[in-house]
């Protein structure tokens, strides 16, 4: 807000000011002989009158004009404030007081600097440019607010309605990977990433049709003992319909709970076209993100189930042990791996590649566009001439696809299986002050050859589907005769 500034008044001369008279003008107390009236006396007098008149007119115009600009500005700002307050956006509008900041304080206080003089500071921190489109949208929001506030059959406080607006904004961003996490859901999300939690041991993914499907059952878990299978679709959790959960994390939050408690789950099984209701007891679950073994013909096999914490370290340990045991070919199994941490993925690629650009990401952060190259370091552990194959299925997603796609584009692996899930975007999670969090689809990534795989997935070099009668069995429980995808992957790396 522009402030009026007046110059400091100067001290007046305490003595009587000396009067100044026009040329050829004599005051009445002049006692000399009367001079001759000058010829131009009348003209000079009217010039003086005209000058005084013009000066007065100009002063009045400038004064009125300045007042109009000043008060019009104040009225416009007041109108904006009233518009914001009517929809609960601006709680207070105030002038920003000038502050002085030392050079030492600049970095620490950068986020709390006073706004510029031509902006409006609101307690909620929301500032909108005054455009016809914004005004129309705010008017509509105000109308909706009033209707819901006064006519919905349940009464909600302003704070509750504002929270609903916040969650609604997040859910309408057009990305199923952008969602709000309550404080409880955030804690469970972090537990899941650590690999330890109390639940039933079923890994779930949201399909494009926003249904929740089980992609993997953890070995020896309550889910496996209850008879749940990969491919089962959640219908309800403790009588709450699955479609009412806003994200995978929300559903997972409902399934997890205190060890020893039971949960009622209804699933739909496409293989038999039936709904099944089960009661499952929760237990402490510890997931192993890497398992490995040596197969016949010195073929090493490493299964990576998720890109959670320490997976790169575990992957490295598996490679070292297999090399010590004489490995001559390597199969990496990423089936049912829904992704995880990008940093862990890049560290794993370090062990297979020379220094390479494995992905380019493009997105936005802090209101500015970003572009960044993700590169590997020259830390190759697997010999460059050792053949490597990789297995994907329809549930391999996100970091799994980045890992597989980079190796495929750089001609380091041959891929077996079926088209992968197709998640070509990445997310970042921001924790909020109350312990809740916001996961935001923040960037899209492009593989070395420049392709983004969103809604497309990775195309295998060898398309092989598992036989229909075993497609729902746990991968870890398949025999080599049943697992035709693994059999092909072994053939590709086996030395003759």
- Same structural domain, 268 and 315: no
Segment 130-142 mean pLDDT: 91
Residue 11 domain-assigned (yes or no)? no
Whether residue 245 is found in the same domain as residue 378: no
Model confidence over 415-444: pLDDT tens digits? 999 999 999 999 999 999 999 999 999 999
Residue 169 resides in a domain = no
Nearest to 228 by CA among 257, 282, 269, 259: 269
Same structural domain for residues 320 and 407? Answer: yes
Q: Are strands 425-431 and 212-217 parallel, antiparallel or unpaired?
A: unpaired
For residue 413, the domain's CATH number is 3.90.226.10
Q: Is residue 110 part of a domain?
A: no
Is residue 222 in a domain?
yes
Is 353 within a domain?
yes
Identify whether residues 312 and 438 lie together within a single domain.
yes
Selected residue with higher pLDDT from 353 and 189: 353
Residues 318 and 336 occupy one common structural domain: yes
pLDDT over 90, % of the chain? 57
390 with 309, same domain: the answer is: yes
Whether residue 297 is contained in a domain is answered as yes
- Structure tokens belonging to residue 471: 């497609």
**Tokens describing residue 468:** 């229909």
Whether residue 227 lies inside any domain: the answer is yes
Contacts of residue 401, defined as CB under 8 A and 6 or more positions apart, other chains included, come to 339, 392, 420, 421, 422, 423, 424, 453, 457, 458
Boundary of a domain, candidates 286, 312, 347:
286
The domain that holds 249 is classified in CATH as 2.30.42.10
CA 315 – CA 319 distance, rounded (Å): 6
Q: How many structural domains does the chain have?
A: 3
pLDDT in tens, 389-408: 999 999 999 999 999 999 99
For the entire predicted model, the pTM comes to 0.68
Of 286, 318, 345, which marks where a domain is finished? 286
Question: In terms of domains, do 448 and 359 share one?
Answer: yes
349 domain residue, yes or no: yes
Same domain, 129 and 240: no
User: Are 247 and 382 within one domain?
Assistant: no
Same domain, 297 and 184: no
Among 286, 309, 327, residue at a domain's last position: 286
Q: Using one digit for the tens of pLDDT, what is the confidence trace for 193-204? A: 766 788 999 989
435 touches 452 (CB < 8 A): no
CA 215 to each of CA 264, 383, 415, 453, 475: distance values in angstroms, whole numbers, following the listed order: 19, 33, 20, 20, 10
**Domain of residue 294, residue span:** 290-493
Task: Kindly state whether residues 378 and 483 are assigned to the same domain.
Answer: yes
């Amino acid at each position: 807000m522009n402030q009026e500034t007046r110059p400091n008044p100067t001290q007046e001369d305490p003595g009587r000011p000396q009067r100044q008279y026009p040329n050829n003008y004599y005051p009445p107390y002049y006692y000399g002989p009367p001079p001759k009236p000058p010829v131009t006396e009348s003209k000079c007098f009217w010039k003086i009158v005209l000058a005084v008149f013009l000066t007065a007119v100009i002063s009045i115009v400038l004064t009125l004009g300045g007042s109009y600009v000043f008060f019009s500005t104040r009225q416009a700002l007041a109108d904006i404030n009233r518009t914001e307050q009517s929809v609960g956006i601006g709680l207070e509008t105030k002038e920003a007081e000038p502050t002085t900041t030392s050079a030492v304080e600049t970095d620490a206080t950068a986020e709390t600097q006073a706004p510029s003089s031509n902006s409006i500071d609101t307690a909620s921190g929301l500032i909108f440019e005054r455009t016809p489109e914004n005004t129309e949208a705010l008017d509509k929001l105000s109308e909706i607010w009033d209707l819901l506030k006064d006519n919905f059959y349940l009464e909600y406080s302003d704070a509750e309605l504002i929270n609903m607006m916040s969650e609604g904004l997040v859910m309408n961003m057009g990305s199923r990977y952008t969602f709000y996490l309550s404080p409880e859901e955030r804690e469970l999300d972090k537990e899941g990433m650590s690999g330890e939690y109390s639940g039933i041991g079923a890994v779930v993914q949201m399909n494009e049709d926003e249904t929740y499907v089980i992609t993997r059952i953890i070995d020896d878990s309550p889910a496996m003992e209850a008879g749940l299978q990969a491919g089962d679709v959640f219908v309800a959790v403790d009588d709450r319909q699955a479609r009412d959960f806003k994200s995978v994390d929300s559903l997972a939050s409902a399934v997890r709970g205190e060890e020893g408690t039971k949960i009622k789950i209804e699933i739909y099984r496409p293989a038999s076209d039936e709904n099944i209701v089960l009661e499952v007891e929760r237990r402490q679950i510890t997931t192993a993100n890497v398992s490995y073994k040596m197969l016949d013909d010195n073929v090493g096999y490493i299964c990576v189930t998720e890109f959670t914490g320490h997976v790169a370290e575990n992957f490295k340990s598996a490679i070292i042990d297999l090399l010590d045991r004489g490995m001559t070919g390597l199969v990496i199994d990423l089936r049912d791996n829904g992704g995880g941490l990008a940093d862990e993925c890049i560290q794993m690629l370090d062990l297979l590649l020379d220094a390479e650009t494995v992905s380019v990401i493009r997105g936005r952060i802090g209101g500015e566009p970003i572009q960044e190259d993700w590169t590997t370091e020259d830390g190759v552990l697997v010999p460059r001439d050792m053949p490597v194959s990789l297995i994907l299925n329809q549930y391999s997603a996100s970091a799994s696809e980045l890992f597989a796609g980079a190796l495929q584009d750089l001609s380091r692996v041959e891929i077996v299986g079926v088209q992968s899930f197709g998640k070509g975007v990445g997310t970042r999670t921001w924790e909020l002050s109350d312990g809740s969090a916001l996961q935001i689809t923040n960037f899209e990534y492009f593989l070395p050859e420049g392709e983004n795989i969103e809604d497309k997935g990775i195309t295998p070099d060898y398309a092989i589907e598992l036989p229909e009668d075993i497609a729902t069995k746990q991968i870890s429980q398949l025999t080599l005769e049943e697992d035709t995808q693994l059999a092909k992957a072994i053939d590709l790396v086996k030395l003759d």
